[in-house]
Amino acid sequence: MPRYTSYPTAPHFEKKFSEDIYRGWLSALDPAEPLSLYVHIPFCKQMCWYCGCNMKLIARYQPVRTYVDNLCAEIILVATQLPARIRVSHLHFGGGTPTALHPDDLEKIIRTIEAHFDFTPDAECAIETDPRTITDEMIGRIGALGFTRASLGVQEFDPTVQAAINCIQPAALVQRTTEKLRAVGVKGINYDLIYGLPQQTAAALCKTVQECAAMKPDRIVLFGYAHVPWMAKNQRMIDEEALPGTEERATQARSSAQALITHGYDAIGIDHFALPGDALAKAARAGRLHRNFQGYTDDDARSLIGFGATSIGRTPFGYVQNQSETGAWARAVEAGHLPVSKGHAMSVDDCLRAYVIERIMCDGEVDLDIAAAFFDAPPDWHLAESEQLDNLQRDGLITRAGSKLALTQAGAGLARVVAATFDRYLLRDRARHSVAV
């Protein structure tokens, strides 16, 4: 089931998307509107067997340095397509492991961005980290460069589970890394946890939640492990017999979510939790929550430019995705081309359905008539979905009052299933998605 970090989802982007179309979209952006930037670093110092990301294990550093040079060239290339120098409200480094870079290379990327973009006064600058491999020098540079948020991959503290996923990191290591990041001025700290891992139990995961809560990260993301060994070859190292069954997996999701709430975190959407004073929790209460490729966010920028191999960008006109193979991506950049491989131009119907799906995923409710008015659609635009909506209501997953649809308590955990009702591409999809819980 799609996670709906976009609509349409990436498997439905058109292949061999025209670079000229993307150039046109960039040149047509409104210079008065801030945008977001995403930088993809597809390298790690250690291999985790559970990982489904596009990444490469670092055997020697020279290919990483070459990647950084091409990344900076892509940033410059994209900036030259823009109508003016535009402000940035959010910057996110993801991967892979961005902190696998040498600190000088991280700074080189930041300085290249600063040379071609301005930052809003309250811009959020976030970076994903691996507590096992991040160095004190890198932590110091993260602080010096003005990063405001860092995300730490915790996954699970139980030693048996860590051995089963090849990710050994004691709680004390995570705590030390957290303290060091805060000491250099990184105010926002995120932890990532995963349920559904091999050898995992609900009791062990709830103990991990308790240990994490004691460290007081501002946000905790609770993902369900997606076992897709046909896509992520490293997952073939995981013993499928050790994976929890459907019932145990659901129990882990419910019990750990409840534990997070008990420890003072607000539930945000389907898998995020935040302390009440965090910006994400405030956005959720105010109805300003959004969803993008990093998950839930308070980022309301309409455009997100992605840099690096496999990165995905969004403009008001549609989506683009870069070449996923680093060699093909590099060759395109070196030739002076925007390294896009796929994309999707948004129709009015796409925009309408994207809005409805986002509100279901973010707010747990949506008014279908209001949505129609936003996009000048007829009130009966969702007539084809009536039977499915009736079934969802009969199953107790939604309530309906006039044109307003709302998730029930039982339906909240199956928001993706309800959202999929409005996905007109899903029936054509032959790609395999992760389970809904």
Q: What is the mean pLDDT of residues 129-135?
A: 96
Position 432 scores a pLDDT of: 43
pLDDT at 14: 96
Beta pairing partners, 35: 88
Band of residue 414 on the pLDDT scale cut at 50, 70, 90: very high
3-state secondary structure of 307: strand
Q: Position 32: which residue type?
A: A
What does the DSSP 8-state code read for residue 240? G
* Band of residue 429 on the pLDDT scale cut at 50, 70, 90: low
Residue 292, phi-psi category: left (phi > 0), alpha (psi -120 to 50), beta (remainder)? beta
Give me the mean pLDDT over the 213-239 stretch.
92
Q: Give the distance, in angstroms, between the CA of residue 39 and the centroid of all CA atoms in the same chain.
A: 12
State the average pLDDT over residues 250-279.
97
| pLDDT tier for residue 435 given thresholds of 50, 70 and 90 | low
Confidence of residue 47 (pLDDT cuts 50, 70, 90): confident
Mean pLDDT in residue range 345-374: 97
**Cβ contacts of 376 within 8 Å, gap of 6 or more:** 348
Q: 272 - beta bridge partners?
A: 221, 268
In this prediction, residue 401 carries a pLDDT of 95
Nearest Cα to Cα of residue 322 among 24, 52, 54 = 54
CA distance 157 to 175: 12
How high is the pLDDT of residue 433? 45
What pLDDT is stored for residue 428 in this prediction? 60
Query: 141-148 long-range CB contacts below 8 Å, 24 or more apart?
Result: 141/103, 141/106, 141/107, 142/99, 142/106, 142/181, 142/184, 142/186, 143/181, 143/183, 143/184, 143/185, 143/186, 144/184, 145/106, 145/107, 145/110, 146/185, 147/186, 148/123, 148/124, 148/186, 148/187, 148/188
For residue 436, pLDDT beyond 70: no
- What average pLDDT does the structure give for the chain? 95
In tens, the pLDDT along 281-336 reads 999 999 999 999 989 999 999 999 999 999 999 999 999 999 999 999 999 999 99
Helix, strand, or coil (residue 158): coil
Please state, for a pLDDT cut of 70, what percent of the chain lies above it. 97
Q: How confident is the model at residue 431 (pLDDT cuts 50, 70, 90)?
A: very low
pLDDT confidence of residue 22: 98
- Alpha-helical segments (H) within 313-384: 326-334, 348-363, 368-374
Cα–Cα distances in angstroms (integers) from residue 111 to residues 41, 58, 59, 145, in the given order: 16, 24, 27, 9
- pLDDT tens digits for 383-402? 999 999 999 999 999 999 99
- Domains of the chain in sequence order: 10-304 (3.80.30.20), 348-428 (1.10.10.920)
pLDDT, tens only, 189-216: 999 999 999 999 999 999 999 999 999 9
